[in-house]
Structure 1
Amino acid sequence: MRVVETLVIAAAPATVWKTGGDTANIADWVPAIEKSSQDGDVRRATFVGGGVASERIVEHDDAARTYVYEYLSGPLALRSYRSRFTVRDHADGAEVVWEADFVAESADEELALGEAIRGIYRAALESLAVLSR
């Protein structure tokens, strides 16, 4: 399944990337994450209400303002998950695109998981917009 959330933020792309591109500190702007840390290319994110996810940062390009990560383990019922976070130039500031391609453990879970991920992304982008102003 593919999930894509996009938001135009009225701020300079470099300002948005300074927060959004800091892979270790996603808890600063993702409301669903209580705390986060990173050791090398492995990021750990503790969800509000419990559960810790481990993710590997597989690509990080400051010049292109993009990074890619993969889900290694955690509370979500995923067989595979690969996500890209990108901040692009836009006439009104910065366009942030957060996209994921994933396969749930079962087809029954896939739609609900897609909606949950979409909700997490949307709330996070709105939070990032507030922090970037």
Structure 2
Amino acid sequence: MAFLRSFGRRSDVLVYDPHKLSSPQVFLLTMVIFLIIVAFIAAILTRQISTAFSSNPGLNGLIVGVLAVGILLAFAQVGRLFREVRWVNSFRAGSETTEPVLLAPMKAMIGRSSTIAFSTSSMRTMLD
């Protein structure tokens, strides 16, 4: 009978915790897939893009440069979330690993109070 109850259950499957923050890897993967699709479309339209680019190379070069900087900054912002997610999940588990940077105000407010209940104004302060 115990065999039938355990049938279909695997002991190596991780238990889902609804309160644990998920990793930003999903967003990085989505961003990379989108960039691959855009690069594929740009490769298909190479002749038209080079004709349009040659009409005003200075301005178009500036636009492409700003686009590249924006893409790098977007990846950097998502990359900064890894440390914060790791801190929140370890804080919930009771073992803090690294100091948060983006969530430093929240850590300071949590450290001052023994109970974790915030007023509306303190929540707005943390979110800002």
- In proportion to residue count, which structure has more strand? 1
Structure (1 or 2) with the larger CA radius of gyration: 2
Say which structure, 1 or 2, has more relative contact order (CA 8 Å, 6+ apart). 1
TM-score normalised per structure 2: 0.31
TM-score normalised per structure 1: 0.30
